[in-house]
């Protein structure tokens, strides 16, 4: 049999790779799961009631681009959160944001740029769907270090002009997974200017935007509006998974220029899996409510304080300004994760599993990622065990 080559060089996905590393060994204590970014705070209390009232919608095919009620709720939230006014034609509902991050490349990456193979930029470390999206469209993925030296965000402007001229899409995650770094207004404005000079689109993965310590992270849409950028250069992706503790709802959206959204809608008309209408009804109600978001953020604030107290004095510990991951320095991420599991039962993810090897090395090799998703007491216990095992 003949198989396609385009996905043949993908490494094993992070979590099967983690199971292969750890599961042959007995845990050294009661298991604490800190490897997967699956929110475990309560979902909004009204979800069940809204779903019950909308159950009849399971009896018909759902609206592909999103029901009018859902699109209205999303555009109203974008106005409240970012001060931007978008018509529903500039928004599309998603069956999970990973789908959108992948399909944006299918819909918008050209077959060639300046007569050559197009380039898709991604931070390194990064959410792995960015790389598989580039592979699916035959683009050249360029993994750009996002390290302490660059503020844990990719410095795309440092790339050679001949590379930038071939760039079709540039992915940026803010707040960043895994480091929690936040793109400032200046960062977004400079990236927009770079995109204008070299004619490429920016895809902003803003799925952690509502989990922050001191101030709400600025969004690409609002900076684009402030600077008068071409709306077609800007695509933003948001989710209810982290904001509202609803990862199983599989609900998010893309917002951007009208023509870009038209093209992604056209692709999904043929190949998409729209969200069932009862779930769209739930999503609309959740986007309309901010009380549960504030309550959720308060729980993360408590865990930020716990992390700062437990890890005070740990060399290289940097308190994340946003998101719910800790990016902790170690000598070797795989060795540290295995030691931690075998001696304490705490499960963490080696940073190299979120990164790619480049000519300058793997920027995640000397880190582990710790998800701050457990309840406060369990989180404190797991983090204390981790500190005592790896740093004392």
The domain limits of the chain are 14-42+292-390, 47-289
Tokens 């475990």 belong to residue: 40
The hierarchical CATH code for the domain 14-42+292-390 is 3.90.1150.10
Averaged pLDDT for residues 154-166: 98
User: Which residues are CB-contacts of 63 (< 8 A; sequence separation ≥ 6)?
Assistant: 274, 277, 280
131 neighbors 10 (Cβ within 8 angstroms) = yes
336 against 360, higher pLDDT? 336
Is the Cα torsion angle 93, 97, 100, 101 positive or negative in sign? positive
Taking CA atoms, 203 is separated from 15, 28, 290, in Å, by 25, 42, 25
Phi, psi of 342 (to 5 degrees): -70, -30
Both tokens assigned to 218: 């600025």
Q: How deeply is 189 buried, as exposed, middle or buried, from its count of CB atoms within 10 A (0-12, 13-18, 19+)?
A: middle
- Whether pLDDT at 11 is above 90: no
* DSSP H or E stretch at residue 220: helix 220-227
Q: How far is it, in rounded angstroms, from Cα 152 to Cα 215?
A: 18
Nearest CA-CA partner of 78 in 232, 222, 223 = 222
Structure tokens at 158: 């440092």
Whole-angstrom Cα distance, residue 327 to residue 324? Answer: 10
Per-residue pLDDT, 309: 98
Model confidence band, residue 2 (pLDDT cutoffs 50, 70, 90) = confident
CA separation (Å) from 341 to 21, 32, 68, 331?
10, 9, 48, 16
Q: In which band, very low, low, confident or very high, does the pLDDT at 6 lie, cut at 50, 70 and 90?
A: confident
Name the CATH topology of 47-289: 3.40.640
pLDDT band for position 10 (cuts 50, 70, 90): confident
Check pLDDT > 90 for residue 105.
yes
CB-CB neighbours of 117 under 10 Å: 13
- CA 240, 246, 247, 251 torsion-angle sign: negative
pLDDT tens track for 227-252: 999 999 999 999 999 999 999 999 99
Least confident stretch, 60-64, 201-205, 284-288? 60-64
pLDDT band at 144 (very low <50, low <70, confident <90, very high): very high
- Which secondary-structure segment (H or E) carries 251? strand 251-256
**Which one-letter DSSP state was computed for residue 173?**
E
pLDDT for position 122: 97
What token pair was written down for 137?
């469209």
- How close are the terminal C-alpha atoms of the chain, in Å? 53
**What sign results for the dihedral spanned by CA atoms 259, 157, 190, 103?**
positive
Residue 347 has pLDDT above 90, yes or no: yes
Per-residue confidence at 359, pLDDT binned at 50, 70, 90?
confident
């Amino acid at each position: 049999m003949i198989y396609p080559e385009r996905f043949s060089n993908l490494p094993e996905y992070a979590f099967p790779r983690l199971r292969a590393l750890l599961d042959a060994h007995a845990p050294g204590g009661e298991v604490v799961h800190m490897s997967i970014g699956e929110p475990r705070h309560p979902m909004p209390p009204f979800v069940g009631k809204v779903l019950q009232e909308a159950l009849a919608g399971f009896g018909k095919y759902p609206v592909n681009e999103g029901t009018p009620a859902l699109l209205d709720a999303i555009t109203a939230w974008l106005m409240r959160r970012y001060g931007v006014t978008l018509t529903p034609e500039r928004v599309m509902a998603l069956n999970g944001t990973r789908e959108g991050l992948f399909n944006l490349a299918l819909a918008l990456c050209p077959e060639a740029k300046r007569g050559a193979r197009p380039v898709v930029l991604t931070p390194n470390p990064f959410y792995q769907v960015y790389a598989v999206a580039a592979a699916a469209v035959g683009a050249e993925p360029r993994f750009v270090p996002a390290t302490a030296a660059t503020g844990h965000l990719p410095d795309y402007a440092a790339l050679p002009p001949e590379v930038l001229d071939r760039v079709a899409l540039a992915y940026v995650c803010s707040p960043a997974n895994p480091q929690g770094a936040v793109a400032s207004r200046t960062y977004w404005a400079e990236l927009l200017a770079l995109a204008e000079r070299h004619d490429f689109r920016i895809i902003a993965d803003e799925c952690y935007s509502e989990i922050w310590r001191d101030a709400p992270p600025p969004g690409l849409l609002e900076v684009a509006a402030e600077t008068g950028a071409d709306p077609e250069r800007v695509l933003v992706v948001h989710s209810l998974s982290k904001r509202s503790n609803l990862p199983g709802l599989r609900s998010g959206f893309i917002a951007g220029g009208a023509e870009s959204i038209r093209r992604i809608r056209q692709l999904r008309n043929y190949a998409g899996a729209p969200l069932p209408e009862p779930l769209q009804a739930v999503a609309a109600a959740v986007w309309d409510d901010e009380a549960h978001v504030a309550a959720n953020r308060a729980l993360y604030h408590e865990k930020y304080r716990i992390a700062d107290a437990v890890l005070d004095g740990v060399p290289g510990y940097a308190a994340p300004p946003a998101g719910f991951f800790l990016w902790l320095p170690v000598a070797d991420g795989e060795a540290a994760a295995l030691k931690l599991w075998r001696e304490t039962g705490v499960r963490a993810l080696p940073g190299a599993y979120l990164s790619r090897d480049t000519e300058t090395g793997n920027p995640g090799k000397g880190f582990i990622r710790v998800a701050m998703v457990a309840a406060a007491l369990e989180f404190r216990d797991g983090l204390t065990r981790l500190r005592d095992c790896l740093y004392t």
